[in-house]
A and B are shown apart, each in its own frame.
Chain A
Amino acid sequence: MSFRDIVESGKFVVTGEIGPPKGTDIKEVLHHIELLKGKIDVANVTDNQAAVMRISSLAGCQLCLQNGLEPVLQMTCRDRNRIGLQADLLGASVLGIKTVLCLTGDHVNAGDHKQAKSVYDVESVQLLKIVNGMNNGFDMSGNELQGATDFYPGAVVTPESVPLEPQLVKFEKKVEAGAKFFQTQAIYNMDKFKDFMKYARQFPVKILAGIVVLKSAGMANFMNKNVPGIMVPQDLIDEMKAAGKEKALDTGLNIAARHIRQLKEEKICDGVHIMAIGMEDKVPEIMERAGLL
């Protein structure tokens, strides 16, 4: 069953993340694929995440397909112009990739090639329109394609962006441009997220809440200070602190599982997107503790 069918069926979906390696040694990424296969519904394959050069998202998706894990092609607009993006979309389609997540992409300033020329010929909203155009059989210039694509297009939203209003204007534009599902930036405050969902439920789109496991109180403080749109509330930081060094990770896993369980049981949203960031081996455990396996 494709991701579109799973998510549209109303099942509480779990998406994960595969980060392609920097280099040709794919042992670790194949191990991650093996770990996640059969557990999560689909894996996003990141696209030069944080502007750090790695194996391309497209090739990473192919590795997932070859090894039995359904991929979501993450596409950023930082590294390719409209010609490159459309060419890769056609390529992805013939390789059997069915889901595309349209992103603007972190600035090159964040990555390991800071002197690179950023592209941003188009951006996330426009990329969604491109995908929908190609699904209807036309490229961006209106030329008819010899065979249309059939992608399920998604996008991202940051429910705790500060200020929030401009972010919501963009969210609504993404809906209008054809996004069918959204994965959010990591969320930690359930009450605030419920408020966001009350708003988001006006729109005919599926929302998957972003989950990032806390490894320590220090990590929470670091993210609060440095990652735009992430706000770990003080009570969770205190909970992590109280756990002490040895139990910190275990507590972080429990918090993630608790949040997932609540999101599912209270039907707050349509699923979760677990960003393991180097802890892929812990994803099945989080799912078990959340009662999903």
Chain B
Amino acid sequence: MIVGEQKPFDEIWDMIKDYKKVLVFGCNTCVAICHAGGGKEAEILASLLKMKATQEGAAIEISHSAIERHCEPEFFQPSMEDVRKYDLVLSTACGVGVNLLSEIIGEIPVFPAINTEFFGAVPRAGEFEEHCAGCGNCILHLTGGICPIARCSKSLLNGPCGGTNNGSCEISPDIKCAWVQIYDRLKALNRLDVMKQINEAKDWSTSQGPRNIKVKLMEENTK
């Protein structure tokens, strides 16, 4: 899923303080799971912004709502009439949602209330870890199912650097060295031979945007 975190409150306030009618607009899919931008978080953020507006003596009308998803136009349709009554939408969806809503909303700005960060797993409740970089050229079959692109701080392809330190990464003792994990995993799978093969320089062209995919319809495929 997509993981994000709410922006610092002061940054959000600076974005919205000159508007008169603001909708804090949540998304109840990925960003709700990571407690950053679901309906509940949109409601809390709206309350905090109202308090701030009162403190600052700013006449801003602040409301909140949420829909199931911000990444497909059809989910917006039932709410668009209401959404267009505001002069600013403060979206707590991921960046995809902000982009898509900006495209379809017309002459109303859509601002981001969260920083969209990564594709993550939830290994333990309340913890989110980046496990995939969406590079467009998957090599997990060569690395024991552990992605060095996302999980090695240098995205190395041929083993650990000199900064590997008792199983941790040189950038932080809290980050595991992906290549030590890959080594251990491949050893357990009796596939260390795979790690001994040189991985050639990566074709990064598949990882650089703007990317799009057009899925062929079933009929086209069978032709």
Report whether chain A binds chain B.
yes
Distance in Å from the Cβ of A122 to the closest Cβ of chain B? 5
Chain B interface residue number, banded: 20 to 34
Q: A82, A109, A170: which contacts B158 (Cβ < 8 A)?
A: A170
Contacting residues, chain B, for A110 (C-beta < 8 A): 170-171
Cβ-neighbour of A166 out of B153, B155, B157, B180 (below 8 A): B180
Known A106-B170, A165-B183, A169-B183; contact A121-B163, beta-carbon cutoff 8 A: no
Which of chain B's residues have a CB closer than 8 A to the CB of A129?
A: 198, 200-201
Given the complex, which residues of B lie within 8 Å of A49, measured CB to CB? none
Asked whether any CB of chain B lies closer than 8 Å to the CB of A140, the reply is yes
The verdict on A104 contacting B198 (CB below 8 Å), with A109-B171, A161-B162, A162-B166 known, is no
The answer to whether B153 and A169 have CB atoms under 8 Å apart is: no
- B196 at the binding interface (Cβ < 8 Å): yes
Q: Contact at B195–A161, with CB atoms within 8 Å?
A: no
A107 at the interface (CB under 8 A from B): yes
Q: Interface SS of chain B: helix, strand, loop or mixed?
A: loop
**Residue of A140, A161, A170, A177 contacting most chain B CB atoms (<10 Å):** A170
Distance A123 CA – B192 CA, assembled complex (angstroms): 20
Q: Which of B157, B160, B167, B204 contacts A126 (CB 8 A)?
A: B157
Across the interface, B201 reaches (CB within 8 A) one of A104, A121, A170, namely A121
Q: Are A228 and B162 closer than 8 Å at their CB atoms?
A: yes
B198 touches which of A78, A106, A167, A176 (Cβ 8 Å): A176
- A156 within 8 Å of B by Cβ? yes
Is B171 within 8 A of A104, CB to CB? no
Picked from B159, B171, B201, B202, the residue with its CB within 8 Å of the CB of A167 is: B159
Residues of A within 8 A of B154 (CB): 78, 104-105, 107, 118, 120, 123
Which residues of chain A are within 8 angstroms of B183 by Cβ–Cβ distance? 163, 165-166, 169
Which B168-189 residues have a C-beta within 8 angstroms of A? 170-171, 179-180, 182-183
The 13 sampled A-B contact pairs (Cβ below 8 Å) are: A121-B204, A123-B154, A123-B158, A125-B159, A130-B201, A140-B201, A163-B166, A163-B180, A166-B195, A169-B195, A169-B196, A173-B196, A176-B198
